[in-house]
Amino acid sequence: MTERVEGSAHSNGIQVHYIRVTPPPRKTSPFSSKTRSPLSVVLLHGVTDNGMCWVRVMNALCKDYDLIMPDSRGHGFTDALELGYGVDDRAADVAGLIQALHLNRPLLLGHSMGAETAMGTAALFPDLVRAVIVEDPPWPGRFWGSTPEERADRAAQWGEEIRKQKALSIQELIAQARSQHPEWPEEELLPWAEAKQQVSPFVANMVHAPRRRWSDYVRQAQCPILLITADPERGAIVNAQTVREAEMFWKNGRSVNITGAGHSIHREQLEPYTRAVRDFLSKVE
């Protein structure tokens, strides 16, 4: 039986909340009594989500992999500081969590903001990371404004949007998700709604965070990379041109395109998504 643990770990000056689901050790072969621990996979969610927004991916993988689903800073039950929401800050949070939990070079799987975090961790802490899977990362990057005043206005506007959404009831948020994302299964809606109530408006201050080009992290990463993309006409961020650019930058990477999905590929096309993930995991274990 799988074991589920909920806890928090001190990392990079904050308390990081996480949920961990671990299967029992596996036999090395049908003819041996020796066992080995399953590969650890850290699942890094997108902006305004939380760790439990991976619920269906968790259910699909938990029998075979040790899954750790942290809440990013300012999200879920992890500490929310006023500042410090850049890629490097989030990468240091993940590196500290890996060390605090004594994980043996886990694979990082990230969606959107979490994909940025995964690439940042692989680039800055190469000895801690086995491989990364990045699901529709925000490449080539969001445009927050060309002046400090424009960025301040955008952060204030976004923070207010978060406050207004937090004020809605769970039922109102579920109705909003159902209206905005009619293709999402019902199982996705409650975790999404709860995450929107938990996220801190301070997250909007990532607008002010120092940024490097996404390609800098891809160039620096030494580990295998899987980029999962979808349909830009459905709202996916990464297009064919960005894939071609990534292919010029990475040392050991490949991409897979999943049709019939937009930005939230794991929510909209779970079966082909988990097939691609499992295929990659089997090659890096």
- Find the helix or strand (DSSP H, E) in which 159 lies: helix 148-166
Q: Is residue 179 part of a domain?
A: no
> What was the pLDDT predicted at 30?
65
Q: Is residue 195 part of a domain?
A: no
- Find the helix or strand (DSSP H, E) in which 218 lies: helix 214-220
**For the ranges 12-16, 55-59, 140-144, 209-213, which has the lowest average pLDDT?**
140-144
User: Domain range for residue 7?
Assistant: 3-23+36-142+211-284
Domain CATH for 126: 3.40.50.1820
Average pLDDT, rounded, for the chain: 95
Sorted by sequence, the CB contacts under 8 Å of residue 78 that are 6+ apart come out as 8, 14, 15, 16, 17, 70, 71, 72
Please tell me the distance from the alpha carbon of residue 145 to that of residue 136, in angstroms, as a whole number: 22
Q: Is residue 16 part of a domain?
A: yes
Please write the tens of the pLDDT for every residue from 121-136. Answer: 999 999 999 999 999 9
Please tell me the distance from the alpha carbon of residue 237 to that of residue 262, in angstroms, as a whole number: 8
The residues that bridge with 128 in the sheet, in sequence order, are none
> What was the pLDDT predicted at 11?
98
Number of structural domains found in the chain? 1
Q: Is residue 185 part of a domain?
A: no
Q: Is residue 202 part of a domain?
A: no
DSSP letter at 27 equals E
Whether residue 31 has pLDDT greater than 70: no
Please tell me the distance from the alpha carbon of residue 282 to that of residue 285, in angstroms, as a whole number: 6
> What was the pLDDT predicted at 26?
76
> What was the pLDDT predicted at 211?
83
Whether residue 33 has pLDDT greater than 70: no
* 255 neighbors 115 (Cβ within 8 angstroms): no
Burial of 188 (0-12, 13-18, 19+ CB in 10 A): buried
Burial of 283 (0-12, 13-18, 19+ CB in 10 A): exposed
Q: Is residue 124 part of a domain?
A: yes
Question: 144: pLDDT confidence band, cut at 50, 70 and 90?
Answer: confident
- Does the N-terminal peptide bond of residue 185 adopt cis geometry, omega within 30 degrees of 0? no
Q: Is residue 68 part of a domain?
A: yes
What pTM does this model have? 0.96
Please write the tens of the pLDDT for every residue from 156-190. Answer: 999 999 999 999 999 999 999 999 999 999 999 99
> What was the pLDDT predicted at 139?
93
* 65 neighbors 54 (Cβ within 8 angstroms): no
Please write the tens of the pLDDT for every residue from 72-127. Answer: 999 999 999 999 999 999 999 999 999 999 999 999 999 999 999 999 999 999 99
* 191 neighbors 210 (Cβ within 8 angstroms): no
Please write the tens of the pLDDT for every residue from 181-229. Answer: 999 999 999 999 999 999 999 999 999 888 899 999 999 999 999 999 9
